[in-house]
Amino acid sequence: MYILGIETSCDETSVAILQDNEVLTNLVATQYFHQKFGGVVPEYASREHLRIISGMVEQALVETHLNIQLIDAIAVTYGPGLMGALLVGLHFAKGLAFATGKPLLAVNHVEGHIVANFLEMQGLQYPFLCLLVSGGHTQIINVLDFGHYKIYGRSIDDAAGEAFDKAARILGLSFPGGPQIDKLAQNGNPSFYYFPRAHVRSDSADFSFSGLKTALLYLVRKHDTNWVQEHLTDLCASYQESIVDVLKTNTFSVAEKIHARRLVLAGGVAANSRLRTVFRQTAMAYGIQLFFPPLKYCTDNAAMIARTGYEMFQRQMFAPLAVTAVPNLRIPEKTDD
């Protein structure tokens, strides 16, 4: 079975082709020009998707020596994400499905991040606990089966990735902030400064990172630029440690509560080196099997969309051509309880 995947939810244009669970090609074009604006400009992102999407689909077919008639289905992100960016990919996929008569699979981007772990993790089986941590989402999800989820914790304000980006802006670093802070933190002292670890309620696994960002802002304002530059690596390490510590505490608290035996990391922030190290050590102490995708499948990519589409195809979960983009789409909670 060949699945064509298309992803345009934010500032990556990506096209992939899967043969069952094997990635034949996964093309990703990142819009680096947003760096000069300090963040993604939605209108510019949409225009760039529109400019290159057709050529990338053609390139994917050429690289795999396939023609469109050999494709069994077309999977595309329909939310969440930037409305204009989503519409480019979705409308292109709908037009392609209509012209070729191929079934359309409308994929939840968040679900795609979870399923990305199946691309190379052969030993992963349902059920498992998942920490989904990205620029727009921070959630602890009990994944009972494909499409069957129970959410135990979510961010009530800034997502972890957003907290990294805002910190980078405060410290004068480039966008996106997460990779910059991660790189600098490797040479810093995580105990240099103790940033707050917010706990929403004693009985809650929800996250709050807005206070952490404010604490960094006030600290930087108290000192001059020279002091910030002198202690930049230490500030990055201390700030990062606070985020990772809260993610660890909440996640393993839920894991212990539900007796989880498998834990999965998903989303762009799952590429953070400190997060991986801490979770690997803690999972070992708890006797929990830990999974996380290769770095290339942590950030937005079409391979994870195609792989999710493969699961949907197996279950005949086809979308009508009238389907529309949903920028604030959530992962549905559906259990057998």
Q: What is the pLDDT of residues 51-102, one digit of tens each?
A: 999 999 999 999 999 999 999 999 999 999 999 999 999 999 999 999 999 9
- The average pLDDT across 194-218 equals 89
Q: d(Cα 91, Cα 104) in Å, to the nearest integer? A: 11
pLDDT digits (tens, 9 = 90+) for 314-334: 999 999 999 999 999 998 887
Percent of the chain clearing pLDDT 90 (strictly above): 86
Nearest-angstrom CA–CA distance, 292 and 53: 29
Q: Do residues 267 and 134 make contact, with C-beta atoms less than 8 angstroms apart? A: yes
Each residue's pLDDT tens digit, 157-190: 989 999 999 999 999 998 888 999 999 999 999 9
pLDDT higher than 80, residue 337 = no
Does 336 score more than 60 pLDDT? no
By C-alpha distance, which of 89, 94, 71 is closest to 12?
Answer: 89
Q: CATH number of the domain at 126-292, out of 3.90.1420.10, 1.10.3720.10, 3.30.420.40, 2.70.98.10?
A: 3.30.420.40
pLDDT at res. 190:
97
Type and span of the H or E element at 238 = helix 232-258
Could you report the per-residue pLDDT of 113-136, keeping only the tens digit for each?
Answer: 999 999 988 789 999 999 999 888
pLDDT at res. 202:
66
CATH class in words for 2-114+297-314: alpha beta
- pLDDT at residue 38, rounded to an integer: 79
Q: What is the pLDDT of residue 335?
A: 56
What pTM did the predictor assign?
0.93
Q: Give yes or no for a contact between 200 and 153, defined as CB atoms under 8 angstroms apart.
A: no
Instruction: State phi, psi for 18 to the nearest 5 degrees.
Output: -115, 140
Mind listing the pLDDT tens digit for each residue in 282-310? 999 999 999 988 989 999 999 999 999 99
Rounded mean pLDDT of the chain?
94
Confidence of residue 26 (pLDDT cuts 50, 70, 90): very high
Task: Compute the radius of gyration of the chain from its Cα atoms.
Answer: 20
Identity at 70, one-letter amino acid code: L
Q: What is the pLDDT of residue 113?
A: 95
In the chain, CATH 3.30.420.40 covers: 2-114+297-314, 126-292
